Amino acid sequence: VPRRHGIEQRLHRLHDRMAIVETVQALFDAMAARDGAGVAKVLLPEGRLIVVGRGDAGVTTGAMDHADFITRVAESEVPLIERSWDPEVRIDGDIASYRARYDFHSGTTYSHCGVDLFMMVRADEGWRISGGSFTREASCPDNPLPGL
């Protein structure tokens, strides 16, 4: 029986990992569709997003709460296309983190790339994003994804 319990635990962790990746993909899909309600379904309302950039003036940061982000997505005139690769997911009970490199396009125009780091919580309706930080870089030579 202990061996079966170990297999069940691994299957449960795999299911959670897949659900977390699917939650982040649902965010990206809603952004591309300019669907504010879809974005709201995967974000906890209390959360914030922090952007970190580096330029001639050094490191810069900016913040936006989830409500502002939802409005920005819904009011965008072009699809907001974000794609990530090789996500790293860490789970501890009802909290988790998702980290991955990404690229971002406004419509079909390349904008930037960087690293996403989302904090996740398990809610009654499934995994949701409680907040996050991301870097904003001009180019990412390691990007394996084809251009749009």
Reported as a single tens digit per residue, the pLDDT across 33-74 is: 999 999 999 999 999 999 999 878 889 999 999 999 999 999
Least confident of 33-37, 110-114, 137-141: 137-141
Banded pLDDT at 31 (limits 50, 70, 90):
very high
- Whether 101 shows a pLDDT value over 70: the answer reads yes
Q: Is 30 in contact with 42 (CB distance < 8 Å)?
A: yes
Round to whole Å and give the CA distance between 39 and 147: 24
**For residue 5, what pLDDT is reported?**
67
More confident residue, 117 or 12: 117
User: For position 56, what pLDDT does the model report?
Assistant: 81
- Residue 47 CB: number of other CB atoms within 10 A? 19
Q: Please provide the average confidence, as pLDDT, over all residues in the chain.
A: 94
Return the pLDDT at 92.
96
Predicted local confidence at residue 141, as pLDDT: 87
Mean pLDDT for 107-120 is 96
Alpha helix positions (H), the chain: 2-32, 36-42, 66-75
